[in-house]
Amino acid sequence: MKKTLQDLPPSLLSGAAVALRADFNVPLDRDAVADPSRIERTLPTVGHLVSHGARVVILSHLGRPGGRVRPHLTLKPIAAHLGRVIEGPVSFLPCSAGDPVRDAVAGMARGSVMLIENTRFLGGETAGDPALADDWAGWADHFVMDAFGTAHRSHASTDGLPRAVKRNGGEAVAGFLVAGEIKALGAVLRDPRRPYVAAVGGAKISGKIDVIQALLDRADTLLVGGAMANTFFGALGLETGASLTEPEKWETARRLIDAGGSRLVLPVDCTVAAAVGPGLETRAVDRSEVGPTDAIGDLGPVSVELFGRYLADAGTVVWNGPMGAFEVEAFARGTLCVATSAATAADRGATVVIGGGDSAAAARMAGVATRITHISTGGGAALAFLAGKQLPGIEALSDSAPT
């Protein structure tokens, strides 16, 4: 068990400089936050720290700047948004490390909040540079992890920093968001209600091979959709036309098909067009009838019904990744129907967990988000956790005393 923010006595927080790793990787529309849900999920942690007199220094990334300063990926608009929602001042520091951060932290008042610049402007962040972690730990008395979506990454701010804080005698604990994720996902990992149905979609099988194999070992049924299914089609010798696929992963897909047997369920038909884009004529075809110029953009109607039956009978549902190009109206039906079927299963008493990102967006688009048991803030992290993998950003936290 890992310590949580609730385990720290108020006296330990009063006046302390607390490094809070948040996940403010949110979409921006010019200088405005387009979807504040990730920010809002961190508000209980920020409020707790402020109310107990901590000096709260928030670290986050935004986008993939590649270790260079990218002005369009600055966190400055997020600081302004955060100040409005917590109804208090949030200062923004346009740098990420070094003496300017150290000096700014030293000058903070109790109960104040500061957001420093995008951690990924520094090349050492994604490289897990221990010197960068030590630099941050030089001013941090304690560390709070509230960025579950990055917990599966061994980055300087998620793995190195909490370890450095502990070496310096401080505490590294889970914030309320991360503690909630561990509780909800842990229940599914330890004792899922049967039948346990996992649905995995998205573009590529790359990077998810280990997770898919682990889910096959744990779940009763694994539904595969999205462009990922095209790679399995190729492994079966089926035509995929102009569809997105990964021929170099066909052999891997064959091994997964053999290992999964009847537990691995692929679409039996597809919605295709000349290309995956708006304004094009679509048609439904059997997966064996995809033409050499067809592009697969979604599940076909028979597959939608097939997947829905599996989900309707489930005791536990885990879903991560869209079933097609749902951002295009003509290819949205499969994803939205999976969202609706998952919500119906939850209404009937099933435990339904949806990974973050596109799956969460699809649940909101379908109008069923409030009916889902748990919507995770991290897609990849949630999948890795449910596959039984250790997450570096969780493993780095302080252990709680045995009971």
Active site annotation includes 38: yes
β-pairing, 295-299 vs 269-273, is antiparallel
Active site annotation includes 110: no
The answer to whether the beta carbons of residues 113 and 92 sit under 8 Å apart is no
Active site annotation includes 357: yes
β-pairing, 28-29 vs 32-33, is antiparallel
The answer to whether the beta carbons of residues 273 and 297 sit under 8 Å apart is yes
Contacts 24+ apart (CB under 8 A), 123-127: 123/67, 123/68, 124/67, 124/156, 125/61, 125/67, 125/155, 125/156, 125/157, 126/67, 126/153, 126/155, 126/156, 127/156
Active site annotation includes 380: yes
Q: CA 393, CA 160: separation in Å to the nearest integer? A: 9
Q: CA 403, CA 371: separation in Å to the nearest integer? A: 35
- Spot the catalytic one: 204, 254, 263, 371: 204
Q: CA 82, CA 79: separation in Å to the nearest integer? A: 5
Q: CA 235, CA 259: separation in Å to the nearest integer? A: 14
- Spot the catalytic one: 149, 297, 356, 357: 357
- Spot the catalytic one: 175, 225, 380, 393: 380
Q: Which residues are catalytic?
A: 38, 204, 357, 380
